[in-house]
A and B are shown apart, each in its own frame.
Chain A
Amino acid sequence: MSQSTTSSVVTDASTAKGGGPHVTARHNRLSGGFFRFLVARFLLIIPTVFILVTIVFFVMRATGDPISAALGGRLSPEELHRRIHAAGYDRPLIVQYFEYLAGLLRGDLGTTLTDNQKVSDILLRYGAATLELSLLALIIALVVGIGFGRLAARHRDRTADAGIRVFAILCYATPVFFLGLVLKLVFSVWLAVLPASGRSSLESEMQFGRLVSPTGLYIVDSLQLGDFSVLVDVLKHAILPSLALGLLTAGVFIRLVRTNVISTYTSGYVEAARSRGVSERRLLSKHAWRPALIPIVTVMGMQIAMMLAGAVLTETTFEWKGLGFILADYLKKRDFVAVQGIVILIAIIVSVVNFVVDVVSALLDPRVRY
């Protein structure tokens, strides 16, 4: 903050062109404190991931070696023993732990026991599906959460507010898989307007096979194909899962937006702006909204991490073949090497997302920026 004293930066010339000077002013003074914050926050990722990896590793191994867990009943004791020895699971745990850490640094998350695949390949194959679902759900959550949250704050303690709050609690109180089942029941079974499961129909799937560079994001891929019917098919499949996951998150967002906007809306600076004749609409959309956004963005970032857990349940419900679906599958098969790999992968994603979100919310806050 003390470094923000770079000598007179904004010159008279800058005053001439409306919005311009703000930008220049910001750029030039964005230094010191913010850079320190950025570095400190980035370095924080390392211990976070390290702690999670350590916890996950030792928790998973506390039950014994993964081979007995996965193949326990199916192999003879001798065969089991041979394979455990071959995989090195009979060495001291601490040795295995450091070996695993070393592997991680090389980007090696291990190989699954049941079907001999690299965990990193699983990420490549299934990651896109989860990303697509999460993004769609996030869009729904943001639209519903911010819209309703602000509306509730505006009409605080009136009927509209009460209605929105109950809706939010219902969204939050309904387990995502139950909501999924109900949506399926209504739209796929009773009304029969939307498909019950999967990411696309078989025909579309075959169309995607023709693509040279498929992204795995079906919406993007179908645009690549330029086939409108495929796009419609993909969207139809995506509606229910993203709605289920999106509404779950929307419930949390509504509450978050409402509480924070109310607290800024009743703050001294909004009261002061009101005393100068600023309209209520503008008080809400500018004066109360921007400062409320800082804590909102921070907590929303955490919710994105929680969405990954929601994705596991949603994908299982809709047979949406993403990371969550495959994780649940490996869990059923008791393939703990795969589970460990995927969970650690999620831990890394979560840490990075949180870092990005913290940076975004810091950028929104001039007190950190300068």
Chain B
Amino acid sequence: MHEDNANKITVPGDRRLEDLKVSGSRSWFSTLPVIRDLRIAVGWQKGMLVTGLAITIAAVLVAIAAPFLAPYGFAQTKDAQGHDFPVQSAPGAGHVWGTTVGGFDVFSRVIWGTRTAIIAIVIAVVLSIFSGVLLGLVSGYFGGWFDKCCVMIADAIYSFPSLLLAILMAIVISGGQSSLWGGILASGISITVVYIPQYFRTIRAEVIRIKGSAYVESAKVVGASTWRIMTRHLLKNATRTLPVILTLNSSEAILTLAGLGFLGFGIEPTAAAEWGYDLNRSVADVTAGMWWTAVFPGLAIVLIVLGITLVGESLNDLADPRLRARKSAGEVIGSIEDTSVDPQERPGAANEVMAQIEASGTVASGSTVVSSGMAETDDTTVSGGASAPIPDAQAGPIGDDGDTPRTTEADHE
């Protein structure tokens, strides 16, 4: 217990908190998103996270070291002596994973393809995060017409199949195929446009949630400027869920890139190696029984998407107290301290009436957006708490039974 004023009366054998190993000082390193989650994870949840991280890191390493790992260039069809590579040769000594119709070395193209994929993801993610976060922040904080328009446009785009949108963007940006950087940029930007609405929606939802929280209101009462509130309070707190969306989106980005390539909107084979394009070429091969031109690039996609998705899913689980297997010690201590919080006051805390109005009749998508679980329920028991996927019509008017509650909710009789 803290050296608080609280009652100094002791009970024999009260050692409940002393047994807990609460880590004292923590380095900034261990507060980084993924690292922090690694510490929390237990059991096979940890297994998933570690596997995912391993695959992802391996992919990045392969991308960096592609020139050293790949025996040949991605567009190379002749060996050093100027002899043409055999065409459509099965995996064997000279070409471990065989060659394609065009005489490319499959192994080398898969390795080089990693690089293309990673670069495209980085471009897509960086661009869409910046624009999405900025838009979400501004739109969510100020509300009004700008917000309404943004939401409508974002929802329209969001509901639209992302691959089709990416195709349109690819047509605009590159008119089809192009050089290495041109092609990658085109794919990256196409994917960006598709994913901006996702970041926008998430950040906006978080901003709106945080906007109503006591600490932002407190800053307003104090008289902090809008700029200060946005940068000091909203930005950092609203972007805490980003790692999750970021990972899940980058795996989608790879799939979209591959889809673009498969439909012929990727990058010319002479400009760079791209798995989707290679798979497109291999459709005919498969019918002829040539499995190696399809299987290896395909497996590469599966593996990298698998790795990133595993990381994203584990982060999601760990961030959502409802999905996490165990509670962390911090939460338990918070809930066991002799001065804990009444969990029931949540929605009404800042603004009881608005909470009622909000609660009456809104349909929510209820998808699994991460909630940063702060306050926990009374005692240590409750498994999960009272959070339904639907916004609980909570904070209802707890009015007198006889009188009709003065609210928009349920008046009966």
Direct A–B touching, Cβ under 8 Å: yes
* Chain A, 56-71, CB within 8 A of any chain B CB: 56, 59-60, 62-63, 69
A56 to B165, CA, bound (A): 8
In the complex, whether B330 has a CB less than 8 A from a CB of chain A is: no
**Contact A63 B175, CB 8 Å, known A173-B309, A185-B291, A331-B265:** yes
Task: Report B144-164 CB contacts with A as 1/0, cut-off 8 Å.
Answer: 000000001101111111111
A299 with B365: in contact, given A59-B172, A181-B282, A350-B159 (CB under 8 Å)? yes
A169 touches B306 (CB 8 A): yes
Contact A312 B164 (CB under 8 A): yes
B403, chain A: closest CB distance, angstroms: 16
Q: Which residues of A contact B21 (CB under 8 A)?
A: none
Check A347/B389 contact, CB under 8 A, given A62-B172, A63-B175, A312-B263. Answer: no
The answer to whether B259 and A63 touch across the interface, beta carbons within 8 angstroms, is: no
Encode contact with B along A316-335: 1 for CB under 8 Å, 0 otherwise. Answer: 11000000000010011010
Contact of A291 among B164, B175, B389, B409 (CB under 8 A): B389
Q: Does B363 contact A (CB under 8 A)?
A: yes
Separation of A160 and B411 alpha carbons in the complex (Å): 46
In the complex, are the beta carbons of A185 and B156 less than 8 A apart? no
Over the window 200-232 of chain B, the binary record of Cβ atoms lying under 8 Å from chain A Cβ atoms (1 yes, 0 no) is 000000000000000000000000000000000
Main secondary structure of the interface of A (DSSP, over half): helix
Asked if A174 and B302 make an inter-chain contact with CB atoms under 8 angstroms apart, the answer reads yes
Residue B169 at the A interface, CB < 8 A?
A: yes
Q: Which residues of A contact B280 (CB under 8 A)?
A: 177
**How far apart are the CA atoms of A170 and B303 in the complex, in Å?**
9
Interchain CB contact under 8 A, B286 and A189: yes
Contact stretch, chosen from A110-118, A122-130, A214-222, A303-311: A303-311
Beta-carbon contact of B313 and A309 below 8 Å: no
In the bound assembly, the distance between CA atoms of A298 and B255 in angstroms comes to 23
Q: Which of B287, B302, B365 contacts A189 (CB 8 A)?
A: B287
Chain B residue at minimal CB-CB distance from A299: B367
Interface residues of A (CB under 8 A from B): 1-2, 5, 33, 37, 47-48, 51-52, 55-56, 59-60, 62-63, 69, 157, 162, 165, 169-170, 172-175, 177-178, 181-182, 184-185, 188-190, 196-197, 255, 259-260, 262-264, 266-269, 271, 291-292, 294-295, 298-299, 302, 305-306, 308-310, 312-313, 316-317, 328, 331-332, 334, 336, 339, 343, 346-347, 350-351, 354, 358, 361-362, 365, 367-368
Q: B-side interface residues toward A, CB under 8 Å?
A: 43-45, 48, 152-153, 155-164, 167-169, 171-172, 175-176, 251, 255, 258-259, 262-265, 276, 279-280, 282-283, 286-289, 291, 294-295, 298, 301-302, 305-306, 309-310, 313, 322-323, 325, 360-361, 363-368, 382-390, 393, 408-413
Q: Could you list 16 A-B pairs, sorted by A, with CB under 8 Å?
A: A37-B363, A52-B157, A56-B168, A60-B171, A60-B172, A63-B171, A174-B298, A182-B295, A189-B286, A260-B389, A263-B388, A264-B389, A266-B383, A267-B384, A271-B384, A350-B160
